[in-house]
């Protein structure tokens, strides 16, 4: 049974039919990519899955139970976490604190226990802090722990946001154009990193423009055009699919 | 991090002690009365600073929650129940000590609720009101939230002035002291002025410890995340609506707690405590103290309330308040705690004393 | 966590560095709402009290000592009044406190003055200030109940039985409303409608329409705030021609100017200050009233009002009590004040006693009306 | 309720409503151009009334009003230039606090200048007791002056923003200040102009309602709260909606008096309007600038 099943999902904004009857499946432990030209509905689809928008029609199931129309925090509770196209780190907090918020779902100290700093709360705090440092190390940015998150360099902020997303031990992570703004060397590093994330047993759903990244690491690739899915199979066959080539005419550099 | 917080509270307590001794040394032990009142008003401002500075939600109706706390305990501790003494439930309450007979100022005996259960009921009432009101209100944001909380404050103020049982325009007076241990009571008795001063400073210090802990805990981080980027916090699994609501309820609870203690200290409460201008003053003190700074808010509200209660500015009291408001907001938007204001103070101080020929150290902090 | 201690120190240091006060003249405290919503009460009271003190000092003060009046502006807020009362009693060790201007503030500090055994001579009108009698608490404005009696007597003589009551949401309004409801049956008067309006109202057409709907034969408008003029104007504008009675809180010519032509024929009980120059020469109050009226209007270039008169009477009572007691011992001055009789003040002739800490009776009132924009005594 | 009484309550409601509506419109003009909620708006109404009363001592009524409006406009410009012009990207809360400070300062200055006495302009036609019958109800002609003046203001303001060059520029500046300055529009002066316009409107309203409500140094705060209520509930930035919301608030208040004790007039009207706000968070008629940050 697939980890994520999207079936017949549609979303209209006023006159624009952003997503039109899209359906696809993501198996456990897979790296799945969703590609398509600008305005193809990739980010809208992303926001539908992560609960920022409720679909007009169609169903989204994660590990069997429906999540369409749920609030983002409920979707996160099911085990899906995400990054954002335009990085959304918490201003006024250090990088480490940002990542620790990612651990929110895996900790439970509330208002009263937070105020009283009960023994178990202190132990939980230490554990959250330790886990966050470990993830920042995993992404190679642990030396930025105490820096103001929003004043870090662009690439560093991306890494911190990714660490934050991973910090809730999700079953699946949604990456919204992670390679945007990165040069060739950084993209290659990112590819290795995504594979290492998958090796930790986390399923990856990727929205991306950068073909070199997508084709290199994806198990399956779905292609969207004007809100409709026009292809969905392994990278090799997708590249040769005549419809995909037509949509991407002239852009594809094999 | 924990030691830093305790050190700060310890320094605050030492400062409070120094201030008290200084006042007595200068022959002005009476300042403690105004300082005690200012400490309770500071408690409201600090609670509001949590809501505005950390959860980023504005409230123009906080004097209303102060009044719910104050009026709640005032009504329960002055309402003479002896008329229906026979009622079974009353006997039960009396047996439990929740209802007590006590002499009233004019020689008769009155059967009223004991101040402590009254205080608990009043604070819970205010928190319940905040909960009920918070649910629909906190869906709004920005100006609409300001308006909704202003509306709630207006309704509470209208009820306070309009209800005969709450003493209409005269408010409620003759409120007995809140008994603490070893005979000390939160009340106007001049013999207990020192004790009352330390009760107020103690209550403020305890609440500061709790709030500082909260701000540095999981919940605190979630609140700052909501303030920083609400939808990102949502995606991280933070139920933003519930956290904003809980913070609103906690800050309303603190305001009501201050209302209860100050009403006992003053021996009464008037409808002016629920007025909109009072709410506006609390908001201003939080802004002037620095939105995210509990200590800044505490310092500013202690000072401004003290000076206003001492009547130093006479008929210009409001004008001075308005001027301070504009001055701080224009020249130091992050309030008195902002790095650039401190840089000016440090620079000024360094210029005063003959500075050794050391090279000016570049200030490393970035402004928020 | 940025280090917060530096600004906290600067704040607290600012508190300690204020000057101390000299202490040889007789110190008298005064808590008045010189600004704020009740400034029309506090401002004239404050000016009058300071004028009285200066004249007194010019004539050698009291028992050979200068009188120093410390005026604190409470802005009408009870918590400030309480804070100032504590300062005046404990720090400045005042002989007595004059004011506050509003009933709400007086009720807040009444307990403190009792406990601290300090004379409180309030300029607020509510009956509940001196009823039940508190040992150290007195008040100079006339009794609400006497004003109500004066109005109901006149109503009875005109056969008016169905009455509407409008009162402001202040201590003054509340006290009057209570007395009206308590004494109405004694005069066969039935209160058909009773409404409390906001002291800062900008228009009261709806309220007077409600009175019109209740079919009342007369309206009693119990208020001391400027908004009372709106009731008179709005009533006439919606075509109500029934008689309108005001309270002794109408005793300020500005309210007549505000109500303009609508004020013609309004009836209200008041002290004789407003008709001082018309009083017959042999009237006991004539000399005091004319002197105060001339002195105040020459000095402050504004019309005199009965509210300022309450301040005058407070200083007068205190001065006479100190002279009679021959000392500034609190207990002696209090006893002397309680024994004062036949003292001519602006509100009437004071006759204090152990059971009556106001000392004025129905005689203190005269029914006045408005004719061509001026106060005149109502021909009975 | 008899027909005549109903009509009387209705007219009373309209009188309150127009006063609130004009203050609400003042809020919107400045909000539209700057995104600032100007809590000193009530003070402009007070300044207009007080200045007109002082000038009326030696000027005929119409001239006194015109000069009073001009004086208040100058005050509006001075406030914008001294306090607001040089602020870079002020936050919402910071602006609310600054305007609250300004309103307190103006009020205290008025107290020092004019004292605490109540003053009022004479009625434009007739005097305090002249009343005319309108559909069974009797009202003071001043009410018609108020309704007329407010209607005139609404028409003038709408026409100004829609048809004049300056009006279009101000709308552009409100929609996107950066884009407007890129097109060469003098955004700084346009913002000052918005304060001047709003001050002038408030002052004119202050003069027209002065005979009805009487003017005292402290009436600004109460009016500002009502104006803020009306601006929000109509939908921020939407001036016509503010007028409708103002009339609605006035009518609810007036009829609430006929059913419930007057003491709770404010509580009832706010409760009703909060209920509407919770149902439609963007205000009764939808905020024009829903995306305003």
pLDDT digits (tens, 9 = 90+) for D54-70: 999 899 999 999 999 99
pLDDT score of B22: 83
pLDDT tens across C177-228, in order?
Answer: 999 999 999 999 999 999 999 888 888 888 898 898 888 999 999 998 888 9
pLDDT score of D282: 66
Q: Is the pLDDT of residue B185 over 90?
A: no
Q: What is the mean pLDDT of residues C127-141?
A: 90
Q: How far is B263 from chain A (nearest CA, A)?
A: 26
Contact A114 B217 (CB under 8 A): yes
Domain that holds residue B112: 37-281
Tell me what percent of chain D is helix, strand and coil, each rounded to the nearest 5. Answer: 75, 5, 25
- Judged by 3 or more CB pairs under 8 A, whether D touches C is yes
Please give the helix or strand (H or E) that residue C377 lies within, else none: strand C374-377
- For chain C, give the mean pLDDT: 87
pLDDT score of B13: 85
Q: Is the pLDDT of residue B12 over 70?
A: yes
User: What letters, b where the CB count within 10 A reaches 16 and e where it falls short, cover D219-246?
Assistant: bbbbbbbbbbbbbbbbbbbbbbbbbbbb
- For chain B, give the mean pLDDT: 83
pLDDT score of C19: 45
Contact D104 B319 (CB under 8 A): yes
Contact D5 C212 (CB under 8 A): yes
Which residues contact residue D170 at a Cβ distance below 8 angstroms, ignoring those fewer than 6 apart?
D32, D33, D161, D190, D193, D194
Best mutation target among D3, D15, D117 (most C Cβ atoms within 10 Å) is D117
Search chain C and give the residue with CA nearest B36.
C83
pLDDT score of B263: 93
Contact A81 B236 (CB under 8 A): yes
Cα angle C164-C165-C166, degrees, rounded to a multiple of 5: 125
Q: What is the mean pLDDT of residues A151-171?
A: 90
Q: Is A110 in the B-facing interface, judged by CB distances under 8 Å?
A: yes
Q: Is the pLDDT of residue C352 over 80?
A: yes
pLDDT tens across D184-196, in order?
Answer: 888 888 888 889 9
CB < 8 Å from D in window 137-156 of B: 137, 139-140, 142-144, 146-148, 150-152, 154-155
Nearest to C262 among D129, D137, D253 (CB): D129
Structure tokens at D129: 């007791």
Q: Is the pLDDT of residue B363 over 50?
A: no
Q: What is the mean pLDDT of residues B311-340?
A: 79
Q: Which CATH superfamily is domain C26-142+289-360 in?
A: Response regulator (3.40.50.2300)
Lowest average pLDDT, out of A103-107, B131-135, C371-375, D170-174, goes to: D170-174
Report the CATH fold assignment for A1-79+170-254: Rossmann fold (3.40.50)
Best mutation target among B288, B311, B318, B334 (most C Cβ atoms within 10 Å) is B311
Find chains touching chain B: ≥3 CB pairs under 8 Å: A, C, D
Q: Is the pLDDT of residue D43 over 90?
A: yes
Residue ranges per domain, chain A?
1-79+170-254, 91-169
DSSP string of C33-46? --SSTTHHHHHHHH
pLDDT score of C100: 94
The interface predicted TM-score of the complex, written ipTM, equals 0.84
Contact B169 C90 (CB under 8 A): no
- Report the interhelical angle of D219-234 vs B276-289 (nearest 10°): 80
Contact B219 A114 (CB under 8 A): yes
pLDDT tens across B23-66, in order?
Answer: 888 777 778 888 999 999 999 999 999 998 888 888 889 999 99
pLDDT score of D96: 80
Search chain C and give the residue with CA nearest D141.
C237
pLDDT tens across A192-251, in order?
Answer: 889 989 998 999 999 887 788 888 889 999 888 888 888 888 888 888 888 888 777 644
Q: What is the mean pLDDT of residues C120-145?
A: 90
Lowest average pLDDT, out of C90-104, C142-156, D8-22, goes to: D8-22
Q: How far is A93 from chain B (nearest CA, A)?
A: 8
Q: Is the pLDDT of residue A99 over 90?
A: yes
Q: Is the pLDDT of residue D143 over 90?
A: no
* Confidence at B361, pLDDT banded by 50, 70, 90: very low
Contact C206 D213 (CB under 8 A): no
* Confidence at B352, pLDDT banded by 50, 70, 90: low
Torsional class of C373: left (φ above 0), alpha (ψ -120 to 50), beta (otherwise): left
- For chain A, give the mean pLDDT: 87
Share of chain C above pLDDT 70, in %: 94
Please count the other Cβ atoms lying within 10 Å of the Cβ belonging to residue B59: 30
Structure tokens at D252: 């609810």
Domains identified in chain D and CATH numbers: 9-279 (1.10.3470)
pLDDT score of D1: 63
**B138 lies in a domain?**
yes
pLDDT tens across C14-30, in order?
Answer: 555 444 444 478 899 99
pLDDT tens across D198-213, in order?
Answer: 999 999 989 988 888 8
* Confidence at B368, pLDDT banded by 50, 70, 90: very low
Report the CATH fold assignment for C144-270: Rossmann fold (3.40.50)
Contacts of A84 in chain B (CB under 8 A): 232, 235
CB < 8 Å from B in window 90-109 of C: 90-91, 103-105, 107-108
Residues of chain C with CATH 3.40.50.2300: 26-142+289-360, 144-270
User: What letters, b where the CB count within 10 A reaches 16 and e where it falls short, cover A210-242?
Assistant: bbebbbbbbbbbbbbbbbbbbbbeebeebbebe
pLDDT score of A202: 92
Cα angle D229-D232-D234, degrees, rounded to a multiple of 5: 100
Q: What is the mean pLDDT of residues C91-109?
A: 90
Q: Is the pLDDT of residue D71 over 90?
A: yes
pLDDT tens across D262-275, in order?
Answer: 888 888 878 877 88
pLDDT score of D106: 93
Best mutation target among D138, D214, D217 (most C Cβ atoms within 10 Å) is D214
Q: Is the pLDDT of residue A153 over 50?
A: yes
**B142 lies in a domain?**
yes
pLDDT score of B362: 37
* Number of separate domains in chain B: 1
- Judged by 3 or more CB pairs under 8 A, whether B touches A is yes
């Amino acid at each position: 049974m697939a980890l994520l099943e999207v079936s017949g999902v549609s979303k209209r904004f006023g006159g624009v039919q952003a997503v039109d009857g899209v359906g696809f499946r993501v198996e456990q432990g897979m790296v799945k990519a969703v590609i398509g030209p600008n305005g193809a509905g990739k980010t809208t689809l992303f926001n539908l899955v992560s609960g920022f928008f409720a679909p007009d029609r169609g169903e989204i199931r994660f590990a069997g139970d429906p999540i369409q129309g749920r609030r983002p925090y409920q979707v996160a509770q099911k085990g899906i976490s995400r990054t954002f196209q335009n990085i959304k780190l918490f201003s006024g907090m250090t990088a480490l604190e940002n990542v620790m918020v990612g651990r929110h779902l895996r900790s439970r100290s509330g208002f009263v226990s937070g105020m009283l700093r009960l023994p178990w709360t202190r132990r939980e705090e230490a554990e959250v802090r330790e886990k966050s440092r470990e993830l920042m190390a995993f992404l190679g940015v642990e030396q930025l722990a105490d820096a103001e998150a929003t004043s870090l360099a662009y690439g560093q902020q991306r890494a911190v946001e990714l660490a934050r997303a991973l910090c809730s031990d999700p079953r699946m992570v949604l990456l919204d154009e992670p390679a945007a703004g990165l040069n060739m060397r950084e993209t290659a590093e990112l590819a290795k990193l995504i594979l290492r994330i998958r090796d930790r047993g986390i399923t990856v759903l990727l929205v991306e423009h950068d073909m070199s990244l997508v084709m290199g690491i994806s198990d399956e690739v779905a292609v969207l055009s004007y809100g409709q899915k026009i292809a969905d199979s392994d990278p090799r066959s997708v590249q040769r699919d005549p419809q995909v080539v037509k949509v991407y005419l002239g852009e594809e550099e094999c | 991090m924990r030691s830093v917080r305790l050190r700060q509270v310890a320094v605050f307590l030492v400062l409070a002690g120094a201030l008290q001794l200084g006042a007595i040394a200068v022959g002005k032990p009476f300042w403690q009365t105004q300082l005690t009142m200012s400490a309770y008003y500071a408690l409201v401002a600090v609670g509001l600073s949590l809501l505005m500075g950390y959860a980023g939600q504005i409230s123009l109706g906080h004097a209303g929650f102060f009044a719910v706390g104050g009026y709640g305990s005032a009504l329960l501790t002055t309402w003479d129940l002896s008329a229906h003494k026979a009622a079974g439930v009353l006997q039960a309450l009396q047996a439990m000590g929740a209802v007590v007979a006590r002499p009233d100022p004019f020689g008769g005996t009155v059967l009223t609720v004991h101040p402590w259960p009254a205080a608990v009921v009043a604070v819970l009432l205010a928190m319940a009101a905040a909960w009920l009101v918070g649910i629909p209100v906190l869906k709004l944001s920005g100006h609409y939230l300001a308006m909704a909380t202003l509306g709630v404050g207006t309704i509470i103020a209208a009820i306070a002035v309009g209800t005969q049982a709450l003493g209409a325009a005269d408010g409620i007076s003759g409120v007995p002291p809140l008994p603490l241990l070893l005979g000390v009571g939160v009340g106007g008795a001049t013999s207990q002025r020192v004790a009352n001063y330390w009760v107020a400073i103690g209550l403020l210090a305890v609440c500061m410890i709790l709030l500082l802990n909260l701000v540095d805990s999981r919940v605190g981080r979630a609140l700052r995340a909501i303030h920083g980027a609400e939808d990102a916090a949502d995606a991280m699994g933070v139920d933003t609506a519930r956290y904003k609501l809980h913070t609103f309820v906690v800050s309303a609870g603190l305001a009501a707690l201050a209302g209860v203690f100050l009403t006992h200290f003053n021996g009464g409460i008037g409808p002016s405590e629920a007025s909109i201008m009072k709410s506006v003053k609390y908001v201003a003190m939080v802004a002037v103290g620095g939105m995210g700074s509990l200590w800044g808010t505490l310092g500013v509200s202690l000072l401004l309330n003290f000076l206003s209660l001492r009547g130093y500015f006479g008929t210009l009291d409001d004008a001075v308040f308005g001027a301070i408001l504009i001055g701080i907001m224009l020249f130091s938007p992050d309030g008195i705690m902002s790095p650039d204001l401190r840089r000016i103070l440090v620079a000024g101080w360094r210029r005063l004393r003959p500075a050794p020929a050391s090279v000016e150290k570049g200030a490393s902090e970035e402004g928020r | 966590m940025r280090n917060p201690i530096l600004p906290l120190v600067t704040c607290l240091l600012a508190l300690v560095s204020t000057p101390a006060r000299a202490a040889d003249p007789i110190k008298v405290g005064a808590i008045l709402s010189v600004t704020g919503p009740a400034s029309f009460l506090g401002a004239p009271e404050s000016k009058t009290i300071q004028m009285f003190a200066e004249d007194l000092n010019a004539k050698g003060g009291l028992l050979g000592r200068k009188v120093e009046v410390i005026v604190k502006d409470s802005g009408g807020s009870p918590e400030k009044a309480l804070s100032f009362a504590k300062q005046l009693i404990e720090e400045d060790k005042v002989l007595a406190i004059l004011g506050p201007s509003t009933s709400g503030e007086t009720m807040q500090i009444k307990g403190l003055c009792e406990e601290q055994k300090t004379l409180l001579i309030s300029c607020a009108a509510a009956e509940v200030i001196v009823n039940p009698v508190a040992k150290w608490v007195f008040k100079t404005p006339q009794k609400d109940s006497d004003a109500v009696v004066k109005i109901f007597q006149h109503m009875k003589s005109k056969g008016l039985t169905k009455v509407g009551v409008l009162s402001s949401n202040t201590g003054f309004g509340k006290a009057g409303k209570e007395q009206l409801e308590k004494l109405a049956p004694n005069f066969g008067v039935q209160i058909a409608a009773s409404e409390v309006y906001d002291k800062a109202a900008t228009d009261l057409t709806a309220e007077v329409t409600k009175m019109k709907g209740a079919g009342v034969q007369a309206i009693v408008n119990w208020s001391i705030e400027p908004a009372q003029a709106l009731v008179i104007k709005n009533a006439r504008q919606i075509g109500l021609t029934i008689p309108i009675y005001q309270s002794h809180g109408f005793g300020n010519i500005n309210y007549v100017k505000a109500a303009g032509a609508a004020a013609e024929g309004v009836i209200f009980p008041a002290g004789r200050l407003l008709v001082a120059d018309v009083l017959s020469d042999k009237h006991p109050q004539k000399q005091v009233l004319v002197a105060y009226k001339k002195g105040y209007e020459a000095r402050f270039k504004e019309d005199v009002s009965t509210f300022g008169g309450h301040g005058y009477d407070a200083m007068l009572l205190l001065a006479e009590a100190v002279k009679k007691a021959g000392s500034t011992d609190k207990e002696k001055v209090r006893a002397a004040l309680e024994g004062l009789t036949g003292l001519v003040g602006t509100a009437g002739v004071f006759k204090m006693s152990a059971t009556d800490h106001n000392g004025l009776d129905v005689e203190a009132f005269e029914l006045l009306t408005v004719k061509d924009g001026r106060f005149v005594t109502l021909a009975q | 309720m008899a027909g005549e009484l109903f009509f009387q309550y209705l007219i009373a409601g309209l009188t309150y409503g127009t006063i609130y509506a004009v203050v609400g419109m003042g809020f919107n003009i400045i909000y539209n151009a700057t995104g600032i909620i100007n809590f000193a708006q009530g003070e402009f109404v007070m300044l207009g009334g007080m200045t007109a009363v002082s000038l009326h001592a030696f000027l005929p009524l119409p001239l006194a009003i015109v000069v009073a409006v001009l004086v208040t406009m100058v005050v509006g410009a001075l406030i914008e230039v001294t306090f607001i012009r040089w602020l870079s990207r002020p936050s919402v809360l910071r602006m609310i606090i600054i305007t609250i400070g300004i309103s307190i300062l103006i009020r205290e200055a008025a107290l020092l200048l004019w004292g605490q006495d109540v003053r009022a302009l004479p009625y434009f036609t007739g005097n305090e007791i002249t009343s005319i019958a309108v559909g069974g109800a009797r009202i003071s002609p001043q009410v018609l002056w108020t309704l007329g003046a407010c209607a005139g203001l609404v028409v003038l303001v709408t026409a100004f923003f829609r048809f004049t060059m300056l009006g279009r520029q101000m709308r552009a500046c409100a929609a996107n200040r950066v884009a407007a300055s890129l097109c060469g529009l003098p955004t700084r002066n346009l913002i000052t102009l918005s304060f001047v316009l709003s001050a002038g409107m408030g002052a004119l309203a202050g003069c027209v309602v002065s005979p009805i409500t009487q003017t005292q140094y402290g009436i600004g705060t109460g009016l500002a709260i009502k104006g803020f209520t009306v601006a929000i509930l109509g939908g921020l930035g939407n001036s016509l909606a503010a007028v409708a919301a103002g009339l609605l608030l006035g009518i609810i208040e007036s009829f609430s008096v006929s059913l419930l004790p007057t003491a709770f007039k404010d509580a009832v009207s706010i409760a009703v309007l909060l209920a509407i706000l919770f149902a439609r968070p963007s205000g009764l008629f939808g905020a024009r600038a829903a995306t305003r940050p």
